[in-house]
């Protein structure tokens, strides 16, 4: 069970998470830092990187004050647990202080930022212990490791974790830190921002969990973007591949690399809502889903580039020369559509657009359309099924469509429209596909 920063963002939230994680026996709970803390710790390091020790000390003082308040509210009885919680927080604050006084760049920054998860987990553990729960700490720095290229080492993680678990013995609940780990030299490092989801997936895979639960403050995945469209509803289940297609669109879903360990170990991932714990949420798994359209999503600020050349007709090597241009400027292409005499691609990063266009002009005639949006329709859309494409195109019959792409995977149809038509397109798709 993984809880993100907002789920443990206040004493009140910590208490409600404590209730959720003690329902069953022996669950492993992965926690993020309390919301805002990771940023504040990075700010401390940033002051040090800029040579401003006063700025760092003042930021740390604010952090210390915040945690003093949290302890006071979480442990109001002022008993042994208050003292224990205070001394654990003090240990982290002291460690940051000493890191500031002998600051040595990136490694110090990593040591400082690791304190966020160390503090949130110590608060949770002490709180559970104060309630009489048999909770135990599984220090992630004792089992979570990455190799020289920063990739988690699943064999090693699994071996270390199982010996650690048998060493510390049975517990009602195990608490562990998301995000933080050690490098091959044993130094503290991390799995990048937002890495607690990755931690949870790795721990779930390493222990052969029945299920990995990612608890956030939203009700799973919706079938359309609730910011733009009314009457969206939660998607109850998604294939890992469908989830991966949606990830690009900033749908509130896990990054594909985060859930890869779960996918490979065939462990379902369930997205759940701490504010509404009984809601079913969204299940992501490898099971072959129903043949139906599950969700739509959109991403704007897309630029479409068309390269037209009669030299492309019946020639080989043309596409490769086009793609090499994008490769040279480290610009990734998202959608592609080809005809016999031209190709259209989309990019979402215009940093090198002038250079890219200059080089493409040597290959053909170029047309650029900016301020476009990709609309993505996701589901199990295997080609032998009939009617999916027709339903999608029909829903959008009153909107000018610049590109259509289907067949790259079994799981999506993408369409490119003007950004100003995005909301209308999303609404029409909801109306035609889901709410009819
Ligand atoms: N605390 C880390 C971050 O804010 C990791 C996480 O929350 O997933 O990026
Ligand atoms: Mg997060």
For 41, how many CA atoms within 13 A lie in the half-sphere containing its CB? 27
Residues lining ligand 1, CB < 6 A? 4-5, 32-33, 38, 116, 178-179, 193-196
Among all bound ligands, the one having the nearest atom to the CA of 194 is: 1
- For residue 355, what pLDDT is reported? 98
pLDDT for position 90: 98
Least confident of 31-35, 122-126, 222-226, 284-288: 284-288
In this prediction, residue 1 has a pLDDT band, given cuts at 50, 70 and 90, of very high
- Predicted local distance difference test score (pLDDT) of residue 154: 92
Position 351 scores a pLDDT of 97
Q: Considering every ligand atom, which ligand is closest to the CA of 252?
A: 2
CA distances from 175 to 28, 64, 139, 171 (A): 6, 23, 8, 10
For the beta carbon of residue 39, count every other beta carbon within 10 angstroms.
14
Among protein residues, the one whose CA lies closest to atom 6 of ligand 1: 194
Kindly report, residue by residue over 209-233, the tens digit of the pLDDT. Answer: 999 999 998 878 889 998 899 999 9
Distance between CA 352 and CA 359 in Å, rounded? 11
| Confidence class for position 35, pLDDT limits 50, 70, 90 | very high
Q: What is the mean pLDDT of residues 304-317?
A: 87
* pLDDT surpassing 80 at residue 289: no
> Which helix (H) or strand (E) is 137 found in, with range?
strand 135-137
For residue 252, is pLDDT > 80?
A: no
% of the chain residues with pLDDT over 90? 85
Distance 216 CA to ligand 2 centre (A): 9
Q: What is the distance, to the nearest Å, from the Cα of residue 412 to the centroid of all Cα atoms in its chain?
A: 20
Residue 80: what pLDDT?
96
Rg (the chain; Cα; Å) = 25
- Determine phi and psi for 48, rounding to 5 degrees: -65, -40
| 256 has a pLDDT exceeding 90 | no
Mean pLDDT for 180-193 is 96
Average pLDDT over residues 171-181: 98
Average pLDDT on 175-192 reads 97
- For the stretch 352-394, pLDDT in tens is 999 999 999 999 999 999 999 999 999 989 888 889 999 999 9
How does pLDDT run across 49-86, given as a tens digit for each residue? 999 999 999 999 999 999 999 999 999 998 999 999 99
Task: Band the pLDDT of 436: cuts 50, 70, 90.
Answer: confident
What residues have their beta carbon closer than 5 A to ion ligand 2? 4, 194
pLDDT above 80 for 246: yes
Q: Give pLDDT, residue 248.
A: 78
Query: According to the model, what pLDDT value does residue 435 have?
Result: 87
Ligand 1, atom nearest to 197 Cα: 8
Confidence of residue 34 (pLDDT cuts 50, 70, 90): very high
pLDDT-wise least confident of 86-95, 236-245, 330-339:
236-245
Q: What is the pLDDT of residues 86-123, one digit of tens each?
A: 999 999 999 999 999 999 999 999 999 999 999 999 99
Q: How far apart are the C-alpha atoms of 93 and 272, rounded to whole Å?
A: 32
Residue among 33, 116, 189 whose CB has most ligand 1 atoms within 8 A, to mutate: 33
Angle of helix 37-49 relative to helix 115-130, nearest 10 degrees, comes to 150
pLDDT for 251: 65
Condensed to tens digits (0 to 9), the pLDDT of residues 388-432 reads 999 999 999 999 999 999 999 889 999 999 999 999 999 999 999
For ligand 1, pick from 195, 215, 257 the residue to mutate: most ligand atoms within 8 Å of CB.
195
Atom of ligand 1 nearest to the CA of 193: 9
Segment 120-127 mean pLDDT: 98
Kind and range of the H or E run holding 413:
strand 412-418
Q: Do the beta carbons of residue 185 and residue 106 sit within 8 Å? A: no
For ligand 1, mutation pick of 196, 198, 199, 203 (most atoms within 8 Å of CB)? 196
Which tens digits make up the pLDDT trace of 348-361? 999 999 999 999 99
pLDDT at residue 254 in the model: 77
Q: How far is the CA of 110 from the centre of ligand 1 (A)?
A: 13
């Amino acid at each position: 069970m993984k809880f993100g920063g907002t789920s443990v963002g206040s004493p009140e939230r910590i208490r409600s998470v404590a209730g959720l994680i003690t329902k069953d026996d022996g669950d492993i709970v992965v926690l993020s830092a309390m919301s805002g803390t990771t940023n504040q710790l990075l700010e401390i390091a940033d002051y040090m990187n800029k040579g401003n020790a006063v700025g760092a000390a003042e930021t740390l003082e604010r952090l210390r004050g915040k945690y003093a308040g949290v302890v006071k509210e979480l442990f109001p009885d002022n008993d042994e647990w208050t003292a224990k919680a205070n001394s654990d927080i003090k240990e982290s604050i002291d460690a940051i202080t000493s890191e500031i006084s002998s600051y040595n760049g990136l490694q110090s920054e990593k040591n400082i930022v690791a304190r966020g998860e160390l503090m949130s987990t110590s608060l949770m553990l002490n709180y559970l212990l104060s309630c009489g729960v048999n909770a135990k700490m599984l220090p992630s720095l004792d089992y979570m490791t990455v190799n020289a290229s920063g990739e988690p080492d699943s064999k090693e993680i699994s071996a270390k974790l199982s010996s650690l678990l048998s060493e510390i013995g049975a517990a009602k609940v195990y608490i562990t830190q998301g995000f933080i780990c050690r490098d091959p030299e044993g130094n503290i490092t991390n799995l990048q921002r937002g890495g607690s989801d990755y931690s949870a997936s790795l721990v779930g895979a390493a222990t052969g969990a029945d299920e990995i639960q990612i608890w956030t403050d939203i009700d799973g995945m919706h079938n359309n973007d609730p910011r733009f469209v009314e009457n969206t509803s939660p998607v109850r289940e998604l294939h890992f591949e469908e989830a991966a297609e949606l990830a690009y669109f900033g749908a509130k879903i896990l990054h594909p690399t985060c859930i890869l360990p779960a996918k490979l170990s065939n462990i379902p991932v369930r997205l759940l809502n701490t504010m509404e714990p009984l809601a079913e949420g969204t299940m992501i798994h490898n099971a072959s889903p129903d043949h139906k359209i599950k969700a739509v999503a959109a991403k704007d600020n897309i630029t479409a580039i068309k390269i037209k050349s009669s030299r492309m007709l019946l020639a080989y090597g043309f596409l490769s020369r086009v793609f090499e241009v994008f490769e040279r400027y480290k610009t990734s292409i998202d959608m592609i559509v080809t005809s016999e005499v031209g190709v259209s691609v989309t990019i979402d990063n215009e940093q090198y657009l002038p250079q890219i266009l200059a080089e493409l002009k040597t290959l053909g005639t170029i047309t650029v359309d900016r301020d476009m949006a990709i609309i993505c329709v996701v589901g199990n859309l295997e080609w032998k099924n009939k009617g999916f494409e027709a339903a999608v195109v029909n829903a959008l019959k009153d909107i000018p469509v610049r590109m259509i792409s289907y067949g790259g995977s079994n799981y999506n149809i993408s369409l490119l429209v003007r950004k100003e038509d995005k909301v209308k397109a999303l609404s029409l798709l909801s109306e035609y596909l889901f709410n009819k």
